[in-house]
């Protein structure tokens, strides 16, 4: 697990299913979310007025900002069409080393939802 740009930020044991974890990497505040055993990473500073998304509510793939309740899809940072006062968040590629549970994030390859229509 030494692919360029990926850095260890946490371990799977720090996160539980349906849980959130705030971390910092390269000056970015990032929220990790675990849904269906998969880990996602998204900008933790709400695009509306900077609310702390790592303190929001996660329901399925939807993360609700604690300040004015904008809703984002943790899989891609996409803001819900019903909460258009916020904009799409950056999301970051994640790798998990399943042998030891380490979670690695790459901040150099951030995408926003509009640009990340498909993933392989
Ligand atoms: S700061 Fe997140 S919805 Fe306003």
pLDDT at 94: 97
Full set of structural domains in the chain with CATH = 6-109 (2.102.10.10)
| Predicted TM-score (pTM) of this structure | 0.90
pLDDT at 115: 52
Q: Could you tell me if the CB of 63 is within 6 A of ligand 1?
A: no
Q: Could you tell me if the CB of 71 is within 6 A of ligand 1?
A: no
Asked whether the beta carbons of 74 and 64 are under 8 A apart, the reply is no
Ligand 1 centroid from CA 86, angstroms: 7
- The pLDDT averaged over each successive group of 10 residues in the chain (120 residues) is 82 96 96 97 98 98 98 97 97 96 93 54
pLDDT at 4: 81
Q: Could you tell me if the CB of 55 is within 6 A of ligand 1?
A: no
State the number of CA atoms in the 13 A half-sphere of 34 facing the CB. 17
Ligand 1 centroid from CA 71, angstroms: 9
Best mutation site among 53, 57, 70, 88 for ligand 1 pocket (most ligand atoms within 8 Å of CB): 70
**What SS3 state is found at 33?**
strand
């Amino acid at each position: 697990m030494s692919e360029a740009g990926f850095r260890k930020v946490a371990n799977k044991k720090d996160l539980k299913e349906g849980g959130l974890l705030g971390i910092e990497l390269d000056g970015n505040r990032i929220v990790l979310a675990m849904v269906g055993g998969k880990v996602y990473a998204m900008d933790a500073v709400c695009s509306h007025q900077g609310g702390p998304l790592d303190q929001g509510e996660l329901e399925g793939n939807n993360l609700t900002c604690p300040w004015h309740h904008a809703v984002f899809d943790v899989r891609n940072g996409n803001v819900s069409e019903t909460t258009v006062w916020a904009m799409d968040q950056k999301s970051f590629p994640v790798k998990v080393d399943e042998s030891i549970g380490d979670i690695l994030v790459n901040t150099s390859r951030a995408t926003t939802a509009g640009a990340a229509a498909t993933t392989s």
